Structures are given as C-alpha cells and as structure tokens.
Amino acid sequence: MSSPAIEPSDAETPKVLSFLLYLDLFALALCLPLFLVAGFSMLGYAVAAAAWLIQRAVRELVQRRAEAATDVRTSVGLTAASMLIRGWLVAFALFAVGLSDNDAGLAAAILFLFLFSIFFTMQAIVRPQGRATPAPTARPSR
C-alpha cells in the first residue's frame, strides 16, 4: 500500500511561491563567492549583477503600472516597451564590458544568462498558481 503524497498546506504555498520568485536573487548572491574563489572576472560579476538588478527593478515597476492600467492597450504597450528597452540596455552593457575585457564580457554574459534562466523558469512555475487578477467567471445564460 502506498503512502499518501505529502502536500504543503494552503498557508505554506504562498511562502514557497514567493521564495521561488526571488530564487534568481539568491543565486546571484551565491555566485559572488564562486567568482571570488574561482578567480573569474569581478568586473564581469559587477556588470552582470548591476544589469540584472536594474532591469529587474524596472520590470517590477512597469509591471505594477501595467497591472494598474485600465486600458488593455496601455498595459500591453508598457509591458512590450519594457521588454524591448530592458533587453537592449542589458545587451549594450554586456557588449560594452566585453569590448573592454573579453574575460569580463564572457563572465557577465554567462552569469546573466544563468540568472535569466532561473527567473524565466520560476515565472513559468509560479504564474499559473499565483494570478494577479481573479479568473473570469462565467456569466449566467438567459
């Protein structure tokens, strides 16, 4: 006879989900000792960390504003513009550091892609569970 699966209680679920949303920041902090011990470029770490933190803060601010918008076009426009501008700014920062120092550029690019992979995966896991807006309800038929 198999034992029942252990599932977190409803009170624990939001805590787990909120932790997952910040897993990328935890990984960024854990990468600092790795960079120091392994002798990777600290300039690369600094550029990737600054680019990651700035674009993430801008994303949060724009997302709140987009969610508060009453017009769907405004919400979509803010989100799309934010994605494009943040992508170009990060690409410029990584390209600029890579031009000045190849090792720093490589370290920055790898760290940034690592953080993005974690963030993207956690968003895919959490989004279906933690909707910002309530699901639409069916209207009664007449």
Q: 115, 50 in Cβ contact below 8 A?
A: no
pTM of the full structure: 0.78
How confident is the prediction along the chain (142 residues), in pLDDT tens digits per residue? 555 544 555 556 677 778 888 999 999 999 999 999 999 999 999 999 999 999 999 999 999 999 999 999 999 999 999 999 999 999 999 999 999 999 999 999 999 999 999 999 998 888 765 544 444 555 555 5
Q: Provide the pLDDT for residue 132.
A: 46
Residues in the chain, overall count: 142
The secondary structure of residue 10, as a DSSP letter, is: T
H/E element holding 38? helix 23-38
Give the tens place of pLDDT for each residue, 51-61.
999 999 999 99
C-alpha Rg value of the chain to the nearest Å: 20
Q: Provide the pLDDT for residue 17.
A: 79
- Nearest Cα neighbor of 132 from 52, 58, 69 is 69
Q: Provide the pLDDT for residue 127.
A: 76
Q: Provide the pLDDT for residue 18.
A: 80
Give the 3-state DSSP-derived string for 53-113, with helices as H, strands as E and coil as C. HHHHHHHHHHHHHHHHCCCHHHHHHHHHHHHHHHHHHHHHHHHHHHHHCHHHHHHHHHHHH
